[in-house]
Amino acid sequence: MHKGVTGIFSSGLDMLSLRQKPSNEIYKFWSLYQETWVRLYASSLITVAAINGSATAPGCALATACDSRVMAEGDHVIGHDETRTGWLVPNWVKFGMVNLIGFKETERSFQKGTIFSPEDAQKIGLVDMVVPKDDLMTSVRIRLKESASMEDDLRISTKNMMRRETTENLNLRKQEDVTNMTVYSLLEHVQESIVDTNAQYLGWKPVPWPSG
């Protein structure tokens, strides 16, 4: 949960709290993040991501777990830039991207840490619609109505069929994945990048890594 906002898990902002946290707190964070992703991905509900700004790394991951994505036009980006900043892309995040844009494009974008403009993201299938910002929520409602117009039992059965294998594979190695991310998060260069790479979004001044 994001401090000060009851009931909200903000993976991007909450990730900043990992800096210099004890390992048990970092483990709890990754457990919650992974659980949120899997539950969203496996949900029988109709889920549409409304993206009104940049959605990199955790934000992009949660968007890929939804049924569809509508992104506002503008000078912002979406994608996974972890390798540029010293991070390892979590295993469950990989599946979300592969299922949307294919293995080859995912591998290439992960290795290069590529982030995409709204228009480029639409071209490769990462987002389904790019609309003016003022039309974002209206467009999301249209997507929801389109999906809701289908026979619900068949829609749910089809979604479960298509996503079952991925969900089962992730559930089999949930603890292993969370442990790996916890260990990785404690590396010094990763701890430094948490603040350094997000300071531009929040206007925070990076704090030097303590010596000794």
**CATH number where 52 lies:** 3.90.226.10
In the sheet that holds 55-56, the strands lie side by side as: 55-56, 78-79, 115-116
pLDDT in tens, 144-195: 999 889 899 999 999 999 999 999 988 999 999 999 888 888 887 777 776 6
pLDDT beyond 90 at 90: no
pLDDT for residue 204: 41
DSSP of 18-84, one letter per residue?
TTT--HHHHHHHHHHHHHHHHHHHH-SS--EEEE-S-EETHHHHHHHTSSEEEEE-SS--EE--GGG
Which residue is it, tokens 């949900």?
43
pLDDT beyond 70 at 86: yes
- Is position 45 within any domain? yes
- Is position 52 within any domain? yes
Split at pLDDT 50, 70, 90, the class of 15 is low
Percent of the chain with pLDDT over 90: 55
Mean pLDDT, the chain, integer: 83
List the single range of 11-20, 151-160, 186-195, 200-209 with lowest mean pLDDT: 200-209
- Is position 97 within any domain? yes
pLDDT in tens, 101-111: 999 999 999 99
Confirm if 192 and 210 have CB atoms less than 8 A apart. no
* DSSP 8-state assignment for residue 187: S
CA pseudo-torsion sign 191, 196, 199, 201: negative
- Rounded CA gap, 86 and 67, in Å? 30
User: What domain range is 150 assigned to?
Assistant: 11-202
pLDDT for residue 58: 85
pLDDT for residue 23: 82
- Rounded CA gap, 34 and 184, in Å? 15
pLDDT beyond 50 at 209: no
- Is position 212 within any domain? no
- Is position 49 within any domain? yes
DSSP of 98-152, one letter per residue?
HHHH-HHHHHHHHHHT-EE-HHHHHHHTS-SEEE-GGGHHHHHHHHHHHHHTS-H
pLDDT for residue 198: 56
- Is position 2 within any domain? no
List the single range of 18-22, 58-62, 91-95 with lowest mean pLDDT: 18-22
pLDDT beyond 60 at 9: no
pLDDT in tens, 74-83: 999 999 988 8
- Is position 3 within any domain? no
Instruction: Name the burial class of residue 97, with classes exposed (0-12), middle (13-18) and buried (19+) by CB atoms within 10 angstroms of its CB.
Output: buried
The structural domain count of the chain equals 1
pTM: 0.81
- Is position 98 within any domain? yes
pLDDT beyond 80 at 38: yes
